[in-house]
Amino acid sequence: MSFILITVISICVSGGILLLLSREVFKMIMGLAVLGTAANLVVFTGGRPGSLVPAVIEQGSQSLMTGAASPLPQALVLTAIVIGFALLCFALVLAAAVANQQGDSDVASYRENEPSGNTKAQSDKPLVMEIES
């Protein structure tokens, strides 16, 4: 069980990173979503998955039966999924808004906040050298 999960996690991580490195803004957000899935699976894998012993504490006993899956990571994953999903929805709307406003979905063209040496973005922000004259 762990082996399957680990394979899935590694596929998710590599796919996620590939998407994240894309210059297309929506692909980038999707990359974050896939990486989020990988992170959730990592938490899940930590909880001894695949065990068939029920995660129930029997009457009179103080702890889980030996070999039972730990229910705590599953609770953690649920919380993480909810948060991650909300953020993903927000991010998609945000990305759509940015792509609309800038008229371009290429993240490399979003330079309003980081003026570079490029002449295009430089119009109202001269370099230090230019001011001296």
Q: Compute the least distance from the CB of residue 48 to other proteins, in Å.
A: 8
| Secondary structure letter of residue 120 according to DSSP | G
Cβ(24)–Cβ(54) under 8 Å? no
Residue 52 makes contact with other proteins by CB under 8 A: no
59 CB neighbour count, 10 Å cutoff: 5
Rounded alpha-carbon distances, angstroms, from residue 23 to 102, 106, 108? 14, 5, 6
Q: What are phi and psi of 129, to 5 degrees?
A: -60, -35
Write the interaction track for other proteins spanning residues 58-97; mark x where CB under 8 A is met and - where it is not.
------------x-xx--x--xx--x--xx--xx--xx-x
Residue 113 makes contact with other proteins by CB under 8 A: yes
Name the residues that contact other proteins, by CB under 8 A.
20, 25, 28-29, 32, 35-36, 38-40, 42-47, 70, 72-73, 76, 79-80, 83, 86-87, 90-91, 94-95, 97-98, 101-102, 110, 112-114, 125, 128, 131
